[in-house]
Amino acid sequence: MSATCLTLPDYLREDILLHPEKRKFPAFNLRQLLNTVFTPTAGCKICVLVDFADPAPMIKDFHFLTEEGYPIQKRAYQHFYQSLQLGVMKDLGMHGGEMFAYRMTYGSNLDLADEVWDSHGKQFSFDRDLYPNYDLILCISTYSATAPLTAKAKQFGFRGATLHGVNDIILSSGLAVNYHEVSRDAEKIRLAMTGAESIEIDFALEDGRVLTAWLGLDRQEAQKSHGLCNGLTPDIANLPAGEVYFVPSDARGQFPMKYEDGTLGVLDVENRNIVRSTLIQGNQDTIDAHNARLLDDPMTGTLGELGFGTQVLPVSGADIQDEKVLGTCHLATGRDDHLGGDIVPSMFKKHENSTHDDILFAPHKTPNFNISQVRMKRGDQEEIIIENFRPSRYIMDALTAF
């Protein structure tokens, strides 16, 4: 990873890779972001979506602006809605610009209720009034809506972006990058990994154990989340973007899990499904609750994604950006139809179970264990992809290639 390599962009220098918080970004510019992500924009009708527990009174006359809390929704108003009204729409030849609110889902990628309200408090229907009548939809929400909006985009023909959990760090870094560069780098890593037969991940625990998870990929074509939603093809960009991902066809072995309350467990995987969790340290009740959920609805433990970050970004504290960091990887359980997979909401016992939940492995998120190595097998080729949360020489050579 020589800093003198002539083909090495500044943000891939050794010192920046070690300390990504030192990378310099331009100021967030909505006009530039939309013009890059959504070319062409001329003639497009655009709107902004936000979510609330009780949407009608909160969105009416933008009442939420006078209330404590709602940081995501207030950023949506200031940096997206207001910017559209104050010249961005005119500059890009767009019209519309309304803000709507829908009922909070309380789960990642759960389907949205059809009711939606405008800033006058009037109720509308997503299917009847919004999806058929808007060309670009920006969803700045508490919980990810990528899966349901991807399905609706294909049905109704619009484009859009999901930007859940937006905070100030994301605005000043992950949404301030040049997405042509992001797309270029993601494609280089995608080509370095596409057609893989399998991936093995070694997790080194503090007690000296090494757990290994094996994921079968059946030589599938790797996909990329690269932030560009150009042309007029219906699609949803998940921003910040920057990852290469697969839909596992099989999985087995073990991997560690850090739960929201800090409890650590070991997850056993058989036939692509998490079958049990065993306590390492923390709260046994947390482990018991997870095992009860797996027993009650086994689909909640099905692995639906394996992803690798491709960007050099500072830690934001929100997985939507932090899973895009080069040197990290993540698994996800649950629905994967928005990724081209076969796990759809109807396969779950209850609607609220049909989430897509990322499990991020990164130094700040999982300091209790290390990804000591990630290995790829592709025919006779075997390559190290990640070592100790750092991109391997193989990946760096791919990134610095012409």
Query: Which of these, 161, 159, 44, lies nearest to 95 by C-alpha position?
Result: 44
The letter for the amino acid at 133 is: N
Checking if the pLDDT of 3 tops 60, the result is: no
Q: How far apart are CA 309 and CA 391, in angstroms?
A: 10
Residue given tokens 């809506």 in the structure block: 145
CA 146 to chain centre: 8
Cβ-in-10-Å burial (0-12, 13-18, 19+) of 327 comes to buried
pLDDT at residue number 7: 58
pLDDT at residue number 322: 97
Q: How far apart are CA 61 and CA 73, in angstroms?
A: 14
CA 30 to chain centre: 20
pLDDT in tens, 351-400: 999 999 999 999 999 999 999 999 999 999 999 999 999 999 999 999 98
pLDDT at residue number 401: 83
E-assigned strands of 247-312? 250-258, 264-270, 273-281, 303-309
Mean residue pLDDT of the chain comes to: 95
Its sign, for the CA torsion 67, 70, 76, 78, is positive
Query: At a CB cut-off of 8 Å and minimum separation 6, what does 6 contact?
Result: none
**111 touches 73 (CB < 8 A):** no
Q: What is the pTM of this model?
A: 0.94
Query: At a CB cut-off of 8 Å and minimum separation 6, what does 217 contact?
Result: 196, 197, 198, 199, 246, 248, 249, 306
pLDDT in tens, 216-236: 999 999 999 999 999 989 999
Q: How far apart are CA 307 and CA 243, in angstroms?
A: 6
Residue given tokens 């209720």 in the structure block: 113
